[in-house]
Structure 1
Amino acid sequence: MRNQATFQFLSISDNEAFARMVVAAFVAPYDPTIGELTDIKTVVSEAVTNAIIHGYEGRSDEWVYLSLNMDQNVLSIEVRDKGLGMKNIEEAMQPLFTTKPEMERSGMGFTIMEHFMDEVNVTSDVSEGTTIRMIKHLATVQAGAH
């Protein structure tokens, strides 16, 4: 069974909750465990928040792009922005690294994504934006079995 969905929404913090609900609704038919669902919603929150706060520096008139793909038991999530981009991805992915300490950012976003997902791939170009691709292998998949 294969399914896909793509969304775009404005870069406002309220839409972080929207993105969580969208991904939860998308994966619900595949009967994820509570733990899997929590992990998925958490990583989407982290990625969308990164796009809004770091990619667009809080500007509310830009777009965040969310793409979801389910193929068998493999969920792929892509969160993309067309913001500032990163000069050093490796540094940005280090635990506790943050460019916004004044906002009390923990610097754990990428660490959380890597812990909760099976694969995390980040690409970024300065002044072009950042794309975060994440993969999660679900334990069981029920959708399409009816």
Structure 2
Amino acid sequence: AAQLDFTLNELEEIRVATSEAVSNCVIHAYREQSGEIQLELKIQDETLSIKVIDGGCGISDLDLAKTAAYSTDPERMGLGLVFMESFMDQMTIESQLNQGTQVLMVKKPERSKDSNDDGQ
């Protein structure tokens, strides 16, 4: 991410969103069992894409999971997906029960967005 022209605030948002995505895998996907988490990062056209993939239990109701304060773990606040969605420009989730979940998060530096707007 440092290769792109992100501000310190944007880098912190990327860090928090990625941390939340990985935490969700650890806490929810494998439910205290061991499992693999894949992290794929790509920079293309001044845009950072982060993909977090697990082979865990999957999400049964994506709409409910995206609801603020909802969590399958009563000790959690249920804000992870809300933070991820608000901190990134784009977030998509694909999930299948007992197959796993793939989260794709995309962010472009604000400075790049501003310079692209000026040229049009």
Same fold (TM over 0.5): yes
SS of the counterpart of 2:16?
A: helix
Cα distance in 2 for partners of 1:110, 1:50 equals 9
The answer as to 2:26 corresponding to 1:47 is no
8 Å Cα contact 1:73/1:140 also seen in 2: no
Task: In structure 2, list runs of 5 or more residues that go unmatched.
Answer: 113-120
Cα distance in 1 for partners of 2:62, 2:3 equals 34
SS of the counterpart of 2:83?
A: helix
Aligned residues: 112
Q: What is the aligned-residue identity percentage? A: 36
* Corresponding residue number in structure 2 for 1:70: 43
Cα distance in 1 for partners of 2:45, 2:9 equals 19
SS of the counterpart of 1:29?
A: coil
Cα distance in 2 for partners of 1:76, 1:107 equals 24
Cα distance in 1 for partners of 2:36, 2:64 equals 25
Q: Deviations over 1:38-94 (max 9, x none)?
A: 0000000000000010001122x3110000111122111100100000111111111
* Corresponding residue number in structure 2 for 1:58: 32
Task: In structure 1, list runs of 5 or more residues that go unmatched.
Answer: 1-26, 142-146
The answer as to 2:52 corresponding to 1:79 is yes
Cα distance in 2 for partners of 1:64, 1:82 equals 7
How big is the alpha-carbon RMSD for the aligned residues of Structure 1 and Structure 2?
Answer: 1.1
4+ residue runs over 4 A deviation = none
**Residue number among 84, 103, 106 corresponding to 1:135 in the alignment:** 106
- TM (norm. structure 2) is 0.89
SS of the counterpart of 1:111?
A: helix
Cα distance in 2 for partners of 1:30, 1:92 equals 31
Alpha-carbon spacing, 1:37–1:116, altered in 2? closer, same or farther (3 Å): same
SS of the counterpart of 1:112?
A: helix
Shift in Å at residue 30 of structure 1? 2.0
- TM (norm. structure 1) is 0.73
